[in-house]
A and B are shown apart, each in its own frame.
Chain A
Amino acid sequence: MKQTRARRGGPLIIAAVLAVFLSACASGGRTDTGSTSNSGSGGGAGDNSGYTIAMITHETPGDTFWDKIKSGATQAAKNYGIDLKYSNDPDPGKQATLIQNAIDSKVDGIATTLATPDALAASVKAAKDAKIPVVAFNSGIDQYQSVGASMYFGSDEKLAGETAGERIAQAGGKNVLCVIQASGSVALETRCAGVKSKAPSTENIQVNGADDSAVVSSLQAKLSQDKSIDYIVTLGAPIALDALKAMDSAGSKAKLVTFDLNADAAKDIKDGKIAFSIDQQPYVQGYMAVTALYLDKKNGNDIGGGGPVLTGPSFVDKSNIGTILPFAQKGTR
């Protein structure tokens, strides 16, 4: 109970802190504030449903990717007058406990990622037994049905990898380097495997994604070890920026392709330094997961016709970056 109250207080404090900093900003006069997308207090005069929805992810704190999922979810919650309770834990056991917490507090719906479907199956089943609808998003495309989630919103990592590989092969890429920034992640491995299935000479490399200088020097080492590399695929936008530094230092002429976007990567696509990005549109994942639960509750709807709803791969390159860049700078794409 205490926890709930503390959480309710959260937004107020955030708003207060933001107000302070935004005013500081205005006096400072930096042109683009780069400030929050989930701050606004007004706007969004949509439905006032009063539902409570729990969103539970395997987010490891500190990755901009999850900001976008949360932005999307927050926006949807605002539109439909939903009280959104976000929680996360990268540890599968703890994520299962968080789902159980949501069930115990009798929420109206649960949106969860299924990065570790086996570990979460029991909790999802418990939610179903308690008649709480569960939708999956972001990961678990192959297992969400067997686990018991009713819908899925996310990218098909394998398809995303394959399309990237196909595009690279068409552009004449011969030796592809796929950069994995966290060891033991099924999703990342799957992406690289997808690339490899269309561009067979693809080779993987492991880097320490928590240390930018380590990423740069590892890639620099790899690029000087194998000068024939002509395409590099990074699996996250920050890693792409590190890769650019490494290519620069190693004098590599390889082309760079990345998964996901952020403001800097979007700018590099505009400047032609990054050939293209495979975006899985995390904002849409968060937005749709909440929306689906809302529609289910409100109107008994089911989205996706029994199959997964794909939010990607969506390609971002020079041809469409003009429209996308402002959104990337705002932190929603």
Chain B
Amino acid sequence: MSQTSEKQALGAPAEDTNRVQLGFLNRALARPEIGALVAAIVIGIFFLVVAPPFRSAESLATVLYQSSTIGIVAVAVGMLMIGGEFDLSAGVMVTTAGLVNAIFSYQNNLNLWVGAALSLVVALAIGFLNGYLVMKTGIASFLITLGTFFVLQGVNLGVTKRVTGSVSTPNIDQMNGYSQLQKVFASTFQVGSVNVSITVVWWFLFVALASWVLLRTKVGNWIFAVGGNQASARAVGVPVMKVKIGLFMTVSFLAWFTGMHTLYRFNTIQAGNGVGNEFLYIIAAVVGGTLLTGGYGNAIGVAIGSFIFGMTSLCIVYAGWDPNWFRAFLGVMLLLAVLVNLYVKKLSTSRKVG
């Protein structure tokens, strides 16, 4: 309840007077994810036309899997961005999480669950550190997490190389706990004749949870408030420090989760991996309608953004286009998505009666 008025106040204060007159269309248009949804539909139809192999349930499952591997972390990154901060270390943190688990368990010959738990602690600590440093120093999160990004990249390589003598971890599929963890993080299940990855389910779950937190809880209000205007949020009693550190830790939790998936899907992790993915998360969030400046966005939008990315990157393959141009196509498609998103949002702010 308080949340409804909050959103009104933050989003469009002028609406209060003619709120009653808004029809379904305008109400739909006012939602942050609508632009992304329209963009997803437009691009989806486009690829259904030009890429025949995309028209099957198997392809959809593959696209959903690809989207989920980006989307799980992207949801947290989206929330963080709504809270007004960035995390450039999220991509390599995924690798760090997997490495800690694999190396620690393997070298000490311990059950993989122990390594997974330790890895979670490490990830959360990194997230905490990110948040704490940003809040304590007042330096932009872009810089702080850029620092963490480089540090983690170096530590990933350095430690892995020193401990294992190679830059990738040893294969862990014969160790205790593997089969259970594999079921949790990297199994597949059948829907009809189609194999769906469990990460898709986790992804939906995390999106639903994030959406609920953002829209239906006090914490959600706090997140929008600190992202909209940190000083006034603090003035009205929002625990800014806790909220922001919590957001950074959410990112690191989901980075850990994705790291677990990567480890238990591939049984080994290469220390140099994950670099560059931090931008994919941010791109997914922005394509999904999250504002780079904070204070605006939602979880479902970010999920759609991830889906657009997953769909585009795979459909270029389905369409059989010249692979040398892959990045160019990808760029054009993402620009298109953002343009459609912007256009729809403009519609929603200019047409008020109806």
Contacts from A to B (Cβ < 8 Å):
14, 17-18, 21, 24-25, 28-30, 34-39, 60-64, 66-67, 180, 183, 204-206, 208, 210-214, 216-218, 220-222, 224-226, 238, 241-242, 245, 249-250, 262-264, 331
Contact = CB atoms under 8 A, between A and B. Distances in A.
Contacts of B62: 217, 220-221, 224, 249
Contacts of B63: 217, 221
17 contacts: A35-B164, A36-B164, A36-B166, A60-B272, A61-B157, A62-B157, A64-B270, A205-B323, A206-B326, A210-B273, A212-B270, A225-B51, A225-B320, A226-B53, A241-B266, A262-B168, A263-B171
Contacts of A205: 317, 323
Nearest to A18: B162
B268 interface: yes
Nearest to B94: A211
Interface string B134-165: 00000000000000000000001100011111
A28 B163 CA distance: 14
A249 B61 CA distance: 11
B265 interface: yes
A222 B274 CA distance: 22
Interface stretch (B7-15, B106-114, B217-225, B228-236): B106-114
A34 B165 contact: yes
Contacts of A34: 106, 164-166, 170
Contacts of B56: 224
B108 A221 contact: no
B262 A213 contact: yes
B317 A61 contact: no
B313 A214 contact: yes
Contacts of B167: 61-64, 66-67
A168 to B, nearest CB: 19
The bracket for how many chain B residues form the interface is 35 or more
Interface of B: 51, 53, 56, 58-59, 62-63, 65-66, 69, 106-110, 156-157, 161-168, 170-171, 188, 195, 261-262, 265-268, 270-277, 310, 313-315, 317-320, 323-324, 326-327
A234 to B, nearest CB: 14
Given A28-B108, A28-B109, A213-B265, A62 B273 contact: yes
Contact of B65 (A217, A263, A264, A331): A217
Contacts of A249: 62, 188, 195
Nearest to B317: A221
Contacts of B313: 214, 218
Contacts of A250: 58
Contacts of A217: 62-63, 65-66, 69, 310, 314
A317 B124 CA distance: 45
Contacts of A222: 317
Interface centre among A61, A238, A262, A263, by most chain B C-beta atoms within 10 angstroms, is A61
A214 B166 contact: no
Contacts of B53: 221, 224-226
A238 B274 contact: no
Given A18-B162, A34-B166, A242 B266 contact: yes
A211 B265 CA distance: 12
Given A180-B323, A205-B323, A213-B66, 19 more contacts: A29-B109, A36-B165, A61-B167, A62-B156, A64-B167, A183-B327, A206-B323, A211-B69, A217-B62, A217-B69, A218-B317, A220-B62, A221-B53, A221-B315, A224-B53, A225-B319, A238-B168, A250-B58, A263-B170
Nearest to B158: A61
Contact of A67 (B166, B277, B320, B323): B166
Contacts of B161: 67
A323 to B, nearest CB: 21
A224 B107 contact: no
A218 B165 contact: no
* Chain A residues touching B, majority SS: helix
Interface centre among A28, A180, A245, by most chain B C-beta atoms within 10 angstroms, is A28
A249 B59 CA distance: 11
B317 A225 contact: yes
Contacts of B275: 210
Contacts of A29: 109
A151 B317 CA distance: 42
A38 B166 CA distance: 10
A224 B274 CA distance: 26
A214 B53 CA distance: 18
Nearest to A28: B109
B91 to A, nearest CB: 9
A183 B144 CA distance: 30
B270 A30 contact: no
Nearest to A242: B266
Contacts of A180: 323
A264 B266 CA distance: 11
A18 B66 CA distance: 38
A217 B41 CA distance: 21
A221 B59 contact: yes
Given A67-B166, A217-B62, A264 B106 contact: no
B278 to A, nearest CB: 12
Given A35-B165, A61-B272, A217-B314, A212 B265 contact: yes
A39 B65 contact: no
Nearest to A241: B266
A62 B164 CA distance: 13
Given A205-B317, A213-B66, A225-B320, A62 B272 contact: yes
A210 B317 CA distance: 18
Contacts of B157: 61-62
Nearest to A66: B167
A249 to B, nearest CB: 6
A100 to B, nearest CB: 24
Given A34-B170, A212-B262, A224-B56, A238 B270 contact: yes
Contacts of B314: 217-218, 221
Nearest to A61: B157
A331 B157 CA distance: 17
A95 to B, nearest CB: 18
B320 A213 contact: no
B107 A25 contact: yes
Contacts of B108: 24-25, 28
